[in-house]
Structure 1
């Protein structure tokens, strides 16, 4: 028993020693010789950095807090990690956050902010605005200035405790600015009270003369610890940001500027209270701010309603749409419809031919009149439509579309992609039906790289008759009204020819072919230079003089047409029946007679119908006739609205069965949709994107 007790005490002393050495090392590493001071680490920060150093892989900070505090050092060291940042990195980043606060005390929140940067997958809330962080007592200040800093810090702490009976005493400690004194963070006591949601303290500070429209300064000269996110923030901004509805009501009742720091005629570089409420989806605050005259158009549009702000800030419509707050968006929309009027400038009146008597004056908000045009509202809704589509909130996108806002290709594609991922078939059908509203000027590279793959994927996976019909209409529309590119004859000079009198003439023939058991007489001098196939047949024939070359897969009449083409030196004298053209095409392909093959392809392209196109396509794919295949694919796309109703074409698209076709082999027509996509992409690029548009026709 005594031995176990001694071992336990020894282990405890060992752990205590290691912790002491760890803390000592941190203090040495954070010593600043030039400033002659240490950065103090409180107990919570030391414990937290020790845990993070020992294990660098946590999913969330919550997981670390709840789990690691109950684990031994041995268990912590055995946890997996990716890259373990060295201790010096933890100290450097944590101290940087401390210096940013102009403080000499590293707290646990500084370590947490360092973990957000150093560890993947670790996150925690941003540092909260607290009055305790406002104090800075640098050794560079003289005694009087340092004393004033201490007194001001004490005043802020007294107000921060929530004791309304200490307001008068605290104000006396704040300095010459009194109740409107600003901390190192640029915050006034009223702002801190609004952050906490302390309604009673807000009322007391207002009664004591606090400036209700004070702003966090934008410059860092006098207030170097100002958070970038809080610049130009007002008490109303902070109350809205933290969702304190009673405090917001109180501030508005005391005539706080409903637009925050924004002044009439000034550019908006920060979010207004309405923008913050819309982004948070706080319906009650949005309704309250709108009731008090907040302008939902501020943000994206400049104050003159003509151009967008250079920083790309979004207005309340866009923020509500981007975050998916449909009820807030509808509230903004209904308020805009009820209270906002349209005013046309003289330039717009002349450009649009409108009657000057139709102009209306928008209601004045907060004492200032703002001119709004129908174009400005349309631009605002277009941007909201873009952000809702970009973030996958398709219901809001459809709501905006129902207002008459036109589609852009990008918003339409993103909405279609979202509906396809979410398996929302009714919305897919509605979107496909709306494609005709997209102007041809919108047919950009995005349609080829993103639109066509998406639509063909929908066609491949849905197999729904309505969707297939709608996609067929879209593909035909994209293919355009121009005719299918025609096939042209190959003008190939005949190397040699003989008089047709010698065609299948036994006299003077020096080679005999056996076709369907019948002899066919020919001449080497002509065939040897006709094609590589004939040259190979003649060179590989047996040495015996009377040996015939057997042609087993070509009919006699088809072979006769082939030889007639060779002896006559062209296709002019050929009389090809429609029933023979497919077999002649196969024979021309086999004997490598390109000009004859092209002539047969042209005949096929002229005689193609909706009933024969599928079989013709399969045959062309089997033969590898790329030009004819491309022509038929163009025919498919141009006539897809009719073809999609035919069982043969649907089977070709959805249920390819190469084994059942006598002219097919495994792999033939197995990816018809991919080929159609490539053909349509080339067509769109040729008509809408190339420098010589329409050159394909």
Structure 2
């Protein structure tokens, strides 16, 4: 009929209606088909917002109705949240629907696209994503998970950070959501082709330029480790601010902040280093400098990339701060494979500085000189080693 409607001008057949039930074809007469149709009808009735059918519709979902999934890994509660059906959400929660039933990974062949993209998304995740304040508050009130290992993709806090929902973000932080946990694998030896996971909420905030979110995470979060050697982040920030006031020089203040940073738990150090990487990759120089004030160390890649961002934006303040941070540790990280990129941006910057009336090309020239010394020395060592090898061979 559909083909006739489209191809034959004299045949007027109305198009099929589209409903909210997600279904897949199956052979008639199968028991699984009957159960599936009952489930689909039950979900459709639940989403009609007709209170008269809610109880009967819920019973149609079958014996596992509290956490029955459709073909796409969505429970009735998740679908009610997605369609913003507050009445159905309330009814399902009052009748013991699983508030944490999340989209499972690799549900089946048809739903793999949804499962891969949204694995671990719970009803709370959908509520946050659709900015449904009613469902979000109701789920948090009854103790919905805000951080669990099954959330292999984004947690609700990461979703709120992405969309910039400050009210929900603050609510999740106060509910104990972890801003520093990352499910992303960065070890190439351990990662598979299907590398799932997401960076920490702190890194997400840095990537999206949510500077106020970054500040909240750093100032309001508390450390779980009770070791006396660890500081709360609030104490850490206060201590750093005191150090800066007591030290006039940039170097001295930076040294104190680095010392305090190393005393933080590994999970926060790792999240901060991850965040500065994402901030650099997305050209968020202001957030990069915010992390640098906390003592987060550079590696040669982030240092070079941030210098490039400053140069591209003609941001001399950022360029000078980055150049001042160059150290012998960064020199040791440079190899022959990456020296070209580093030297190229340094020469771009030195040419830029020479054109400024108050330019400071000497700062850049010193770094280039140090790099020249390193690679000249390395080349001489290589030549010396080669000569010794030749001598040994000839004497043999």
Q: Shared fold by TM > 0.5?
A: yes
2:178 to 275, 280, 295: 295
Contact 1:217 1:231 in 2 (8 A): yes
Match of residue 130 from structure 2: 242
Please say which structure displays the higher CA radius of gyration. 1
**Could you list the per-position Cα deviations for residues 553-575 of structure 1 after superposition, in whole angstroms to 9, with x for gaps in the alignment?**
xxxxxxxxxxxxxxxxxxxxxxx
Match of residue 253 from structure 1: 141
Instruction: Give the drift of 1:166.
Output: 2.6
Match of residue 248 from structure 2: none
**Could you list the per-position Cα deviations for residues 169-216 of structure 1 after superposition, in whole angstroms to 9, with x for gaps in the alignment?**
211322232343321222111001122233332112111221111122
Q: How does 1:60-79 map to 2 (within 5 A)?
A: none
Task: Confirm or deny that 1:685 pairs with 2:352.
Answer: no
Task: Considering Cα pairs closer than 8 Å and 6+ residues apart, tell me whether 1 or 2 has the greater RCO.
Answer: 2
Contact 2:206 2:214 in 1 (8 A): yes
Instruction: Give the drift of 1:341.
Output: 5.0
Contact 1:300 1:380 in 2 (8 A): no
Q: How does 1:502-651 map to 2 (within 5 A)?
A: none
Q: TM-score, normalised by structure 2?
A: 0.74
Q: Secondary structure at the match of 1:449?
A: helix
Match of residue 169 from structure 1: 56
Instruction: Give the drift of 1:343.
Output: 5.5
Q: How does 1:132-531 map to 2 (within 5 A)?
A: 132-133=21-22, 135-139=23-27, 141-142=28-29, 145-220=32-107, 224-225=110-111, 227-228=114-115, 229-259=117-147, 261-262=148-149, 269-300=152-183, 310=191, 311=195, 313-336=198-221, 339-342=222-225, 358=229, 374-436=265-327, 438-445=329-336, 448-462=339-353, 463-464=355-356, 465-480=358-373
Q: TM-score, normalised by structure 1?
A: 0.44
Instruction: Give the drift of 1:411.
Output: 0.7
Between the aligned partners of 2:199 and 2:132, the Cα distance in structure 1 is 23
Between the aligned partners of 2:75 and 2:149, the Cα distance in structure 1 is 18
**Could you list the per-position Cα deviations for residues 235-257 of structure 1 after superposition, in whole angstroms to 9, with x for gaps in the alignment?**
11211222223321110101111
In structure 1, runs of 5+ residues without a counterpart are 1-16, 25-40, 45-104, 108-129, 345-356, 363-371, 481-683
**The 10-residue stretch of structure 1 (292-301 or 246-255) with the greater mean CA deviation from structure 2:** 292-301
| Cα-Cα RMSD | 3.7
Match of residue 8 from structure 1: none
Q: Secondary structure at the match of 1:466?
A: coil
Contact 2:158 2:200 in 1 (8 A): yes
Instruction: Give the drift of 1:694.
Output: 8.9
Q: Which runs of 4+ in 1 moved over 6 A?
A: 306-309
